[in-house]
Structure 1
Amino acid sequence: MSRLYPRSSLRRAVREHSNGCKVAKTADILVYLNYMTFLDALLREANIEARQAGDKTIRKRHIDKVAHTVLHRFRG
C-alpha cells in the first residue's frame, strides 16, 4: 500500500506546534483527515459556486468567494 502523505514530516510539524503538550501517536493521522475533509468541503463549495456562475472549471475566484464560509465552519 502506498503512503498518502509524508507521515514523519507531518508528525514533526504537529509536535513542533504542540507547545510542549503531550501529543498522541495517532494525532498526525487525525490532523491529516481533518485537512482532507476541509479540502473536500472547499472544493465542493467552489464547484457549486462555479456552476452557479456558469463555468465548468473551478477558478481562483470561486475558491476565494467560498473560502471564508468554509473556514468559518472548520474553526476549532
Structure 2
Amino acid sequence: MAPTLYPRSTLKKIIKAHSNRPLSKNVDILIYLHYALFMQELVNEASIRSKQSGERGVSATSVRRVGERTLRKYKG
C-alpha cells in the first residue's frame, strides 16, 4: 500500500458530515488533489503579486490580495 499525504478516513468523515449525498469510493483523493492545485495556484499568484509590488518574499498581504480571485476560479 502506498503512503498517503493525508488521513483518508478523516477526510472521508469530514466530507460525509458536510454532504447529504452518497460518495464515490475515491472522492477523497479527487478533493485532495483539487485542494493541492488550489494551494499551488494561490502561492504562485501571490508570488507574482509580491514581486510586482517590490516585496522580497510572499507575505500574508499578497496572499489575501489574490485569494478572492483564486477562490472564484475554483468555486464549483
TM-score, normalised to structure 1, is 0.91
Identity %: 35
Unpaired runs of at least 5, structure 2: none
SS of equivalent to 1:29 = helix
Q: CA deviation at 1:25?
A: 1.1
Structure 2 match to 1:33: 33
CA RMSD of aligned residues (A): 1.0
Matches within 5 A, 1:1-76: 1-19=2-20, 21-76=21-76
Alpha-carbon distance, 1:15 to partner: 1.2
How many residues align structurally? 75
Normalising by structure 2, we get a TM-score of 0.91
User: 1:56: how far off?
Assistant: 2.3
- Per-residue CA deviations over 1:12-33 (Å, capped at 9, x if unaligned) read 11111111x1100100000100
Letter in 2 for 1:41: E
C-alpha distance in 2 between matches for 1:53 and 1:2: 40
Q: Which runs of 4+ in 1 moved over 6 A?
A: none
